[in-house]
Amino acid sequence: MVCSIEISEKPKLNDPILIEGLPGIGFVANIVALHLINELKAKRFAAIVSASFQDFAVTTETGGARSPVNELYYYKREDGGRDLIIWYGNTQALTTFGQYELCGKVLDLAQELGCRFVISIGGFKKDEVQPVPAIYSAATDQETMKEALDLGTKMMVGHIFGIAGLLVGMSRLRNVKGFALLVDTLGMYPDANATRYALTALGKYLNLNIDLSRVDATAEQTKKILESFGLVRNIAEEKKKEEQQMRWFI
């Protein structure tokens, strides 16, 4: 199987934008995605299982067994704006190889549905964060970069690890445009405050009014789900990605 998508519905969408929201630093993307799904009552149309996910099941409070999974939701706008595809899940892939497979499969399907623009969300780990956190961006092209900067973001300098970076990088190679939004976060817990700023910037770009009053509840819901998957731990113990030895060798 490697990476298989089960599609329950192929929605007809209007020039849709793909928004990536898998668990990552500060879980900002993950809360953003779940919040959009909840608030917009987005509809699930695809489930993705990868052989590069963790091989276990976790139990819910009522004895339910859950596997690692990624899901795609769609939201059709009635105001004539561009529709949304929301990429949500409880895990990223465990291996570099799996990340490429996963990202490639999702892009394949999104492009089939007419998608020509992606936005990936992420946290930017800092040791100290201001109450109003900075937001950084990187884009596939100069024109899109300008649009991202117009949202009040700063120019990202450095590496964007995981799906957030891969999605924008791979999109560029497919002539799909898009940008990454990275919000300052301590990264040690599902960060509701950073999420609010990400949602605000996102809403501004999408010209979409997103109610932020339930973000804390969504962050709490995210925390519960991810704790059951063992994903929320003392981040202080984690080696910073930047310090990891490069796997590429000469």
Contacting its own copies within 213-242 (CB under 8 A): 229-231, 233, 235, 238, 241
> 15-74: which residues touch its own copies (CB under 8 A)?
23-25, 47, 49-59, 62-69
Which of the stretches 10-18, 38-46, 153-161, 209-217 binds its own copies when contact is defined by CB under 8 A? 153-161
> Least distance (Å) from its own copies to the CB of residue 184?
16
Does position 195 interact with its own copies (CB under 8 A)? The reply is no
Query: Which H or E element spans position 114?
Result: none
- Considering the complex, state which of residue 40 and residue 136 has its C-beta at the smaller distance from its own copies: 136
171-204 as b/e: b if 16+ CB within 10 A: bbeeebbbbbbbbbbbbeebbbbbbbbbbebbbe
Does position 85 interact with its own copies (CB under 8 A)? The reply is no
Instruction: Return the residue of 75, 162, 185, 186 that touches its own copies, per CB under 8 A.
Output: 162
Q: Beta 117-125 vs 17-21: how paired, if at all?
A: parallel
Which of the stretches 38-46, 77-85, 167-175, 195-203 binds its own copies when contact is defined by CB under 8 A? 167-175
- Considering the complex, state which of residue 163 and residue 198 has its C-beta at the smaller distance from its own copies: 163
Cβ atoms within 10 A of the Cβ of 250, count? 3
212-245 as b/e: b if 16+ CB within 10 A: beebeebbebbbebbeebebbeeeeeeeeeeeee
> Least distance (Å) from its own copies to the CB of residue 166?
5
Instruction: Return the residue of 148, 183, 186, 225 that touches its own copies, per CB under 8 A.
Output: 148
- Considering the complex, state which of residue 156 and residue 225 has its C-beta at the smaller distance from its own copies: 156
Integer-rounded Cα Rg, in Å, for the chain is: 17
Pairwise CA distance, residues 202 & 17, whole Å: 11
Pairwise CA distance, residues 84 & 43, whole Å: 10
> Least distance (Å) from its own copies to the CB of residue 121?
14
C-alpha closest to that of 232 among 15, 26, 4, 12: 26
Pairwise CA distance, residues 179 & 135, whole Å: 12
> 86-145: which residues touch its own copies (CB under 8 A)?
91-92, 94-101, 104, 137-142, 145
- Considering the complex, state which of residue 18 and residue 208 has its C-beta at the smaller distance from its own copies: 18
Pairwise CA distance, residues 197 & 86, whole Å: 18
- Considering the complex, state which of residue 3 and residue 42 has its C-beta at the smaller distance from its own copies: 3
- Considering the complex, state which of residue 188 and residue 212 has its C-beta at the smaller distance from its own copies: 188
